Amino acid sequence: MSRSRRRERRSPRDQRIWDRFGPERRLIRKDEPFERWWRAVGFRELRQLLLWRWDPVGVADFFPATEDEYDMYARPLAELLADGCDSAAVTAYLEEIERDAMNDPGAAATPELGEAIFEWYDESRQHYADFGDSWARLQDRL
């Protein structure tokens, strides 16, 4: 199915979220180490965190069919982390998505989740800096 056909099927609310956070609108970082890390391991690891630890829609039980459910939120979240935000900002970002994109005004991401994602980012970047592509190859084998 073509990208334009998929776009036509989105609700107006989903289209606003896609326009704000979707792949076409993602920021292009000039930071080459960030880009190498993101392509090698960052995206896959954050995708797993969002699916298995956050999962506000409750689709993790239908894995692997739903493994890409939260992909559109991963890159903006990684950009926030790369720009030096703290765990409270991560929690606020996830709450904003739950409230606005998923139309759940009572939802609240836990501070523990924000802290876990914040710590993951530092650890993942450090592991990749220490081990480089060998770290990515090890992740592929797991």
pLDDT of 26 higher than 70: no
Question: Rounded distance, CA 26 to CA 19, Å?
Answer: 9
109 vs 3: which has the higher pLDDT: 109
64 vs 109: which has the higher pLDDT: 64
Question: Rounded distance, CA 114 to CA 82, Å?
Answer: 15
- Axis-axis angle for helices 87-96, 111-131 (nearest 10): 120
pLDDT of 115 higher than 60: yes
Distance from chain centroid for Cα 40: 15
Q: Residue 110: what residue type?
A: T
Mean pLDDT score, 101-125: 86
Residue 64 is predicted with a pLDDT of: 86
- CB contact at 8 A, 78 and 46: yes
pTM over 0.85: no
74 vs 26: which has the higher pLDDT: 74
Question: Rounded distance, CA 120 to CA 108, Å?
Answer: 20
Q: What percent of the chain has pLDDT over 90?
A: 36
Residue 81 is predicted with a pLDDT of: 93
pLDDT of 58 higher than 80: yes
136 vs 108: which has the higher pLDDT: 108
